[in-house]
Amino acid sequence: MKNEPLITLPPAAGRAMTVSFLPRLVNDPGGDPGTYVRIRHERHAALFDLGAIGALTPRELLKLSHIFVSHCHIDHFIGFDHLLRTILGRPLQQHLYGPPGFIDHVGGRLRGYTWNLVTDYELVLHVTEFDAAGRLTTVPFVCADGFAPGAAVTTAAPDLIIAATPRFRVRTALFDHAGLPVAGYRLEEPMQVNFRRERLHAENWPPGPWLTTLRRAIRDGVADDFPLTVAGDRHTVGELREKLAIIAPGQVFGYLTDLAATPTNLAQVHRLLTGCDVLFCEAAFLDDDRQRARQTGHLTAREAGVIAADIGARKLVLFHFSPKNHHRRELYYRQAGAAFHGELD
């Protein structure tokens, strides 16, 4: 889309690049948490948290391949039923991730309904929970079997990388939220591939689907001699990469919610999200409610700004505002901006 934003990559990359991750809040900052991430040039998307998701269209929900839930408080998980109602009957492999206990929470929602008329439905939910030691446990819930839980498989997740595809990988860490383990997430693009438009014009090569094929081939490490046809002529991936490709470090997106600014939590945040380009961070309270924030396991706007500055974020997006401050929203941005001097949204 012509109006998609640009983000400046680290100075070593040498130039501004078009972003691949296009994240946005599902709701107003005072509404239920949820961030929808469209992945440019792909048919798939990711979602971070499952609060009320009625603002997402069925088409957007059907694009979801991976969903990452911070914890199962109602304002972060109530949207599960809406999602299920939309994708039911579709031949989808849906992947959901969450902290300890997540499999039981999903199973509980599924057991709340009767499934005697779904024996020909192809939907499968692959539900994964993880712990701080890097153990992943995955259970399939097959719609045709009435969503009875399948056999659990436990694997290791080095560096707490819990999901990986050719386009992205996701790391996690667990934070304390008033005694409850809550997950934060880091979404990373392994590399960013763009093309020199002046070379396209010089070679008289028209843009088209072949560029998407070339981009994927470069990301996937396809052999240099792999053939690719451009405007009727045969070329190789290696030749086209040398002539056209601009390869730079990939984009990094961070998602944090429902954690107090304790030393342990902040140290975990620093390890997980340093170098993040865009941080979506809760800011439940203002400075005059710091004590309440600590008691309930939340951040203030100023603390969100401190975190964004500490990890070197370029952009900070605030959300999860307390309803009591509905008429004081400008203060959230003012107080976060006192600590963070990058782009603020």
Structure confidence by residue, pLDDT tens digits, 114-155: 999 999 999 999 999 999 999 999 999 999 999 999 999 999
* Residue 5, domain member (yes or no): no
Instruction: State the number of CA atoms in the 13 A half-sphere of 84 facing the CB.
Output: 21
Identify whether 171 is part of a domain.
yes
DSSP state of 19: -
Please check whether residue 270 lies inside any domain of the structure: yes
Residue where a domain stops, chosen among 203, 220, 249:
249
CB 104 within 8 A of CB 141: no
Whether residue 6 is contained in a domain is answered as no
Which residue, of 206, 234, 249, is where some domain finishes?
Answer: 249
For residues 114 and 111, give the distance between their C-alpha atoms in angstroms, rounded to a whole number.
7
Q: Is residue 206 part of a domain?
A: yes
pLDDT (average), residues 299-308: 98
Q: How confident is the model at residue 17 (pLDDT cuts 50, 70, 90)?
A: low
Regarding whether 217 and 74 lie in a shared domain, the answer is no
Find all residues with CB under 8 Å of 76, minimum gap 6, and list them: 32, 33, 49, 50, 51, 69, 70, 257, 258
What is the rounded CA–CA span in Å between residue 261 and residue 226? 51
Rounded Cα gap, residues 345 and 23, in angstroms: 12
Same domain, 165 and 313: yes
Give the pair of three-digit tokens for residue 81.
């039923």
Domain count, the chain: 2
The verdict on 217 and 111 lying in the same domain is: no
Indicate whether 157 and 206 sit together in one domain: no
For residue 78, CA distances in Å to 31, 50, 72, 81, 103 come to 12, 6, 8, 7, 15
pLDDT(242) > 60: yes
Q: How far apart are CA 36 and CA 25, in angstroms?
A: 6
In a domain, 60, yes or no: yes
Q: Evaluate whether residue 12 is within a structural domain.
A: no
Give the separation between CA 77 and CA 71, rounded to whole angstroms.
7
Judge whether 123 lies within some domain.
yes
Residues 245 and 266 in one domain: no
Given a cut of 50, is residue 14 above it in pLDDT? no
Contacts of 173 (CB under 8 A, 6+ apart): 132, 160, 183, 184, 268, 269, 271, 272
Q: Decide: 61 and 84 in contact? Cβ < 8 Å.
A: no
For residue 154, the cross-strand partners are: 137
Domain that holds residue 241: 191-249
Predicted confidence (pLDDT) at residue 51 exceeds the cutoff of 50: yes
DSSP 264: H
Domain with 180 in it: what CATH number?
3.60.15.10
- Answer with the residue of higher pLDDT: 206 or 64: 64
| 3 state DSSP class of 310 | helix
Give yes or no: residues 73 and 123 share one domain.
yes
CA neighbours within 13 Å on the CB side: how many for 94? 27
The residue whose two tokens read 């990939």 is 250
| Beta-carbon contacts of residue 43 (< 8 Å; ≥ 6 apart) | 63
Residues 309 and 218 in one domain: no
Whether residues 152 and 299 fall in one domain: yes
Q: Residue 28, Cβ neighbours under 10 Å: how many?
A: 12
Q: What is the mean pLDDT of residues 23-50?
A: 94
Give the domain-ending residue among 249, 276, 299. 249
Task: Please tell me whether residues 119 and 222 are part of one structural domain.
Answer: no
Q: How many CB atoms lie within 10 A of CB 142?
A: 17
Q: Is 246 within 8 Å of 197 (Cβ atoms)?
A: no
| One domain for residues 281 and 135 | yes
- Residue bearing the bigger pLDDT, 249 or 17: 249
| 160 and 200 assigned to the same domain | no
The pLDDT tens digits for 65-119 are 999 999 999 999 999 999 999 999 999 999 999 999 999 999 999 999 999 999 9
**What is the β-pairing status of strands 233-236 and 343-344?**
unpaired
How many Cβ atoms from other residues are within 10 Å of residue 206's Cβ? 11
67 with 100, same domain? yes
Please work out, in degrees rounded to the nearest 5, the angle formed at the alpha carbon of residue 110 by the alpha carbons of 106 and 112.
120
Residue 4 has pLDDT above 70, yes or no: no
Dig out the tokens for 190 from the structure.
Answer: 């392994």
pLDDT of residue 132: 92
